[in-house]
């Protein structure tokens, strides 16, 4: 575990609102169809959403579908402000004067068409780059937007790891925003089960989807967590690749699943006992779900020195990253 990078600071923001159930309606026949298909694929009986911008002034059945987008944009800036403020003053000033790359990540690409937007500036913020964040981090080097659905965050982290190891940049800032648009959420979940031809063994309950925004600052300077991205594992002859994730992990004491890997594909009971599902604990947030493993490490007293977070894709393959404490001390 000598290679890797430090998670210097991070912040994850979610709505203060409560969960609201989605109700299908005949005015949105295709969306309702996708909803029913996704319920069958996940073996659930309902779907709850927690979204930025929901208000009780709106008709209940439309509240989940058409929330105000302004709160979503503001949440991304709030997460960035918090990540900056949590850095020591000296470290923060060093970041603003150093070679810094900026990566903006989302799941769906140009998704402003799903919002009731009348401002070209707001459309640009969602579809391309939030220029106010470039100014906030004094980014004068590389900046880009990355779209990768469930793998977006991990792909951005792999870029950051390469940039830092090659000494191209001193800091890499990843700002991410997950917008839980019902049509796209349902389609993504149903497609995953259809391709893999697998359904979770358990039944009942409801799916919980939470919109979140996050800001993650990586560097080569020591921080609380050290992170190392692993390789992508390709399924062989139609057999999923999750087994290799568990077997090739001699120093890993805890596994966190950012999808449905261990539910759709049985694993050795020894590893199952050491595996947690992040969506079951925090609610699913698409490509931002893997980042919740750091929240788990902060909130739960652990004796584990390292955690491996598994990020499955829709085709039976998966990637992963390891997180550990550089001191090697146990948390009790």
> Tell me: the pLDDT tens digits for 99-119?
999 999 998 888 888 888 888
CA distances from 28 to 47, 209, 322 (A): 16, 20, 42
Find out whether 202 and 244 touch, Cβ atoms under 8 Å. no
Query: Could you give the CA distance from residue 262 to residue 240 in angstroms, rounded to a whole number?
Result: 11
- pLDDT tens sequence across 171-184: 999 999 999 999 99
- pLDDT tens sequence across 180-227: 999 999 998 876 655 555 555 556 789 999 999 999 999 998 887 899
Of 168, 318, 303, the residue nearest 231 (C-alpha): 318
Of 97, 86, 105, 90, the residue nearest 9 (C-alpha): 86
Domain ranges of the chain: 5-219, 225-325
Query: Could you give the CA distance from residue 155 to residue 319 in angstroms, rounded to a whole number?
Result: 9
Query: Could you give the CA distance from residue 305 to residue 291 in angstroms, rounded to a whole number?
Result: 18
58 phi and psi angles, rounded to 5 deg: -90, 150
- pLDDT tens sequence across 60-86: 778 888 888 999 999 999 999 999 999
Dig out the tokens for 157 from the structure.
């982290």
Q: How confident is the model at residue 330 (pLDDT cuts 50, 70, 90)?
A: very low
Place of tokens 């792999």: 158
> Domain 5-219 sits in which CATH superfamily?
Thiolase/Chalcone synthase (3.40.47.10)
Does the model's pTM come out above 0.85? yes
E-assigned strands of the chain?
Answer: 5-13, 20-21, 47-50, 100-106, 143-147, 171-178, 207-210, 212-219, 225-229, 254-257, 275-277, 306-312, 318-325
């Amino acid at each position: 575990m000598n290679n890797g990078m430090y998670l210097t600071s991070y912040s994850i923001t979610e709505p203060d609102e409560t969960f609201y159930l989605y109700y299908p309606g005949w005015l949105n026949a295709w969306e309702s169809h996708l909803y029913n298909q996704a319920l069958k694929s996940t073996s659930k009986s309902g779907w709850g959403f927690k979204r930025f911008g929901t208000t009780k002034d709106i008709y209940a059945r439309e509240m989940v579908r058409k929330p105000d987008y302004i709160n979503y944009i503001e949440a991304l800036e709030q997460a960035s402000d918090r990540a900056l403020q949590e850095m020591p003053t000296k470290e923060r000033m060093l970041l603003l004067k150093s070679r810094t790359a900026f990566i903006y990540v989302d799941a769906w690409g140009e998704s402003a068409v799903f919002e009731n937007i009348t401002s070209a500036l707001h459309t640009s913020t969602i579809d391309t780059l939030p220029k106010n964040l470039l100014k906030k981090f004094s980014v004068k080097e590389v900046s880009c937007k990355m779209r990768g659905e469930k793998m977006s965050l991990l792909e951005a982290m792999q870029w950051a790891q390469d940039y830092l190891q090659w000494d191209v940049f001193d800091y890499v800032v990843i700002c991410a925003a997950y917008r839980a648009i019902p049509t796209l959420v349902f389609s993504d979940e149903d497609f995953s089960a259809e391709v893999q031809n697998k359904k979770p063994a358990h039944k009942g309950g409801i799916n919980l989807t939470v919109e979140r925004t996050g800001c993650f600052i990586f560097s080569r300077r020591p921080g609380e967590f050290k992170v190392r991205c692993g390789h992508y594992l390709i399924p062989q002859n139609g057999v999923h690749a999750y087994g290799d994730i568990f077997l090739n992990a001699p120093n890993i004491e805890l596994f966190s699943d950012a999808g449905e890997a261990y539910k759709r594909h049985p694993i050795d009971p020894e590893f199952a006992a050491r595996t947690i599902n992040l969506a079951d604990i925090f609610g699913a947030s698409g490509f931002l779900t893997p980042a919740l493993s750091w929240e788990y490490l902060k909130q739960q007293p652990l004796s584990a020195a390292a955690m491996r977070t598994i990020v499955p894709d829709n085709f039976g393959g998966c990637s992963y990253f390891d997180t550990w404490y550089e001191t090697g001390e146990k948390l009790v």
